[in-house]
Structure 1
Amino acid sequence: MSLKSFYGNEDNRRAYLVAAALPGEEDSIDSSLDELEDLANTCGFDVVARTTQNVKSISGSSYIGSGKLAEISEMAENADVDHLIFNAELSAAQFRNIAKETSAAVHDRTGVILEIFSDHARTDEGKIQVELARLRYRLTRLAGKGTELSRLGGGIGTRGPGETKLEQDRRAIQRRMGQLKKELDQLELRRKHQRSSRQRKDALVAAVVGYTNAGKSTLMNKLCGTDIPAENRLFMTLDPTARKLELRDGISYVLIDTVGFIREMPKHLKQAFKATLEEVVEADLILHLTDVSDKEAAMHRQVVDEQLSELGAGATDTFYIANKIDNKS
C-alpha cells in the first residue's frame, strides 16, 4: 500500500504538527519539529502549521492537556486540516482520548516513520521486518482498548461482543507475527551463512552508518562505482547492500550500506531490524558518515554513536567522515 492510498487523496492531507516541550526542551523542540515535518512531507502530508505547548509533565490522557487539545481541534476544523501529527509515540489511551476530541485523523511520530519504512521496503526481508514492526505497533494500540471494550460485557466474568472481537484481533495479529518471525529466522540463517562465507575468505567488512539522509548510499556509489538508489529523502535505504571496494594497495573491503538512524528510533523498528543491524555489529570497521551542512550535525553524530553502543558496536574501530561540506553555509 502506498502512502497516498493509506492517508487519502491529494485533497485531504493537510496536517498540523503538535508537540509538548518539557522544562529544558524549549531550545531543542523546534529542530525536533523540523525533523517531524521532514518525516511528514516524506509521508505525503502537506504541513500547514505547527504548535508547541510548554508543559511541566506529559499528560497521560491527552499528551498536551485537555484545554490545549480543544484549542487545536477547533483550529484544525476552522483551517480544514484533516490530520494531527503528534511529535511523540502516543499511548493507546492518549490516541483514544485525542480521537474523541477531534474530527481530524490522529497520527504519532512512530506511525509516520513506520509508514515511510513500509513504502520504502523493497526486499522480502525488508517487507517482513516492516510488517512485523507495524503489527507490534498495532498490538500496543489494541491493548489500550481493553478497558473500554470490556464495558460491553455487562459484568465481571462475561465476554461481550466487543471483548470477543478484541481477543480475535489480538490472536490474528499474534498468529501473523509468529509466521513472520519464522520467515525472518530463515532469512537470518541465510545472512549468517553469508557472514561465515566472508569470514572464511578473510574478507574485511566495513559498515557505512549514519543519520538518515546523511548520504550513505551516495558514498557507496562513489567508492564502489555502483548505482544503489540514492535520493534526498529520509530512509531511502532499508535493506543492507553489500559491494566490494578494491583499494590501491591490494586490500579489498566489503562495504555494507545500512538503514539510517534517527533520534528516538521506534522500539518496534529496533526489534524488527535487529538481524539487519547485526551487520554493523559484525563489521571490522565502521564508516560513520555525518551531514555537516545540517545545523544538527553534532546531535546526529551523538545519536548514531549512542545507538551503535546500544547494538554492541561501540568499541568497533570507527572512521568519522564529514559529508556535504560543500553545502555548509
Structure 2
Amino acid sequence: MINTVPEIVTGVTRGDSDAWEQARFLLTDYYCQAHNPRITLFSLTSKFSPSFPLQPQTDDSSWEGACRLRDCDLLALANLDLAVDSEGLDQLFASEPLPELMEQIPAETQLVDIPSQVFDSETGALTQLWTALTKDPLVLKPKAAAALLARLRPAALPLFSKDDRRPWGDVTDYVQFCQDLHELLLADRGRLAHQLYYLREALELPEWVSQVQLLQALVFSAWQANHAAEKERLRQEKAARRQEREEEKLRKKLAKRTKKQRKKLAKKQEAQSQAQKAAEAKAKKAQRKEGEETSEVDQAKRPVNARHLGGEEPADLGNSRAARSRRGRHVRGKDADEGFISTDPVSL
C-alpha cells in the first residue's frame, strides 16, 4: 500500500512552478535516452522499419483477442532482462477465463478510466490475472509478471520493479499498488491526471506515452536523481572523513615526531648539563688540588723556626724587627745563602 507520495508528484499535483520545471527537465532527459529499456518496453510495436530483423505479425486483431505474444513483445521483455515462456503464456491467455478478464481492461484505456471493480482484492479481473501469472504452472516473479501486463496493457497497468515501488514506501502487493495509483489519479476531481495530461502536451511526447507511464517515469527519474545526489553526498562525506582521518593521522605523526624531538633535545640538554657539571666539578677539583700543591710548596719553602724566636713566629721576623730597629744587616755567604747579622747588644 502506498504510504509515501513522492515530493515531485505532490508538487506537480498542486501546480508548483518549481516542481513543473523539475518535472520538465527530468522527463526530457528520461525520454531523450536512446537505449532506455523501460522506454523500449512500451515503444516497440509490430510495425518495424524495413531494416529491422523481426517480421511483424500479419493479423493484429487476432493478437488483440487471444493475447498471443508477438516477437516485439518478447524483445521488449528481453530488454529488461526478463525471459518468459512464450508458449506457456500463449496457452494461458488463450484459455478460459483469461480472455474475458483481459477484455475488462481495454488496451487503450487509461488507468484513471478503469472501473474500480477491476482492482477488487478477491474477484477483480486484475487479481485473477495476477494470480494466474504468479502461481503454478508459470510462477513468474512479480517484476516479470508486472512487465508483461504493462506490455499488454501499457495505458492502464504500471511496472513493479524495486526501483518503481521503492519511492512510494513499503509496497508489496501489485494489485493494491495499482488501486492506490488509480485513487491517486482520481483524487481532487482527477487533478493529478489533468496535470499529467498538460505535462505530456507541453513536452510534446509521443502518443503511446500514457499517464501511468509518465507518472512512473517522473517518479523513477526523480528517485534516480535524488539517489545520485545522496550517493554523491555520501561520497563527499566519506572523502571528508577520509581526509580528516589522514589529517588526524598526520597530526599524531607530527605530534609523535615533535615529542620524540623534544625528548631527544631534553636528553641532549641533560647530557650537556651533566657534562658541564662534571667539567665544573673537575675544574674545581683540579683547582683545589692545585691550591693544595701550592700550599705544600709554600710550606716546604718556609725556614725552620729561629732559636731566638718563638716557634710560631715567621722566620723573617728577625729581619723585619731588625729592619724596624735598623740594628742589623743582611749578609750573603759564599754558598749564596742569605743570613741576618744582628747588631743588637742584647742578642750579642
TM-score normalized by the length of structure 2: 0.20
Structure whose alpha-carbon radius of gyration is higher: 2
Kindly indicate which of the two structures has a greater share of residues assigned to helix.
Answer: 2
Kindly indicate which of the two structures has a greater share of residues assigned to strand.
Answer: 1
TM-score normalized by the length of structure 1: 0.21
Higher RCO by CA contacts (8 Å cutoff, separation 6 or greater): 2
